[in-house]
Amino acid sequence: MCSRCNYREILERAGLEATPGRMHVLEVVGSHPAPLSAAEIHRTVNRSRALDRVTVYRILDRLVEKKILQALSLGGRGRLFGLAPNEHHPAHPHFRCARCGGVQCLPPGGVRVDLAGVRRVFAGEIRRVEVQVEGLCANCLQRG
């Protein structure tokens, strides 16, 4: 997905060693067009290199903590992981098909959110807004 991201540099700028495990996880997530579950990431990484399930979870936690990845809860059983918004990747909404459970990234800029009304009454600090769209994907729509 991202030929513009230098993963080694991203890791080192975040103060993390660019270990083979982290590089591999980051490449798998970054080269996939939609967010992936920890299990999928583990499976994919292990096709080319042995990496423990727990290690994958720890790498993911670390990368989310450093805001290199973002974790999404989209209605499936667990979290999904994708590249966090950065200079190359603007934030974008996510779509989840209610029938097949498939997840897609929607175009950035395709949604405008106006939070003025919330800010007027909400006493906390707003850091991030995530828009999730649910419906039927093109495939499931065709097949009835």
Partner DNA sequence: CCCGTAATGCAACTATGTTGCGTTATGAGA
Partner DNA sequence: TCTCATAACGCAACATAGTTGCATTACGGG
Q: Do the Cβ atoms of 70 and 86 come closer than 8 Å?
A: no
Q: Name the burial class of residue 27, with classes exposed (0-12), middle (13-18) and buried (19+) by CB atoms within 10 angstroms of its CB.
A: middle
Cα 69 to Cα 64: distance, rounded to the nearest angstrom:
5
Q: Tokens 């992936």 — which residue?
A: 36
26 forms part of the interface with DNA (CB under 7 A) = no
Contact characters 80-119, DNA, x per CB under 7 A: ----------------------------------------
Q: What is the DSSP-derived secondary structure letter of residue 32?
A: S
34 forms part of the interface with its own copies (CB under 8 A) = no
Q: How many residues does the chain have?
A: 144
17 forms part of the interface with DNA (CB under 7 A) = yes
> What, of DNA, its own copies, none, does residue 110 touch, CB below 5 to 8 Å by kind?
its own copies
47 forms part of the interface with DNA (CB under 7 A) = no
User: Rounded to the nearest whole angstrom, what is the least distance from the CB of residue 63 to DNA in the complex?
Assistant: 10
- Per CB under 8 A, contacts with its own copies among 35-94 are 71, 73-76, 79, 93
Q: What is the CA radius of gyration of the chain?
A: 17
> What, of its own copies, DNA, none, does residue 64 touch, CB below 5 to 8 Å by kind?
none
The kind and range of the H/E element at 61 are helix 53-65
Residues forming the site for DNA (CB under 7 A): 16-17, 19-22, 37-39, 50-55, 57-59, 61-62, 76-79
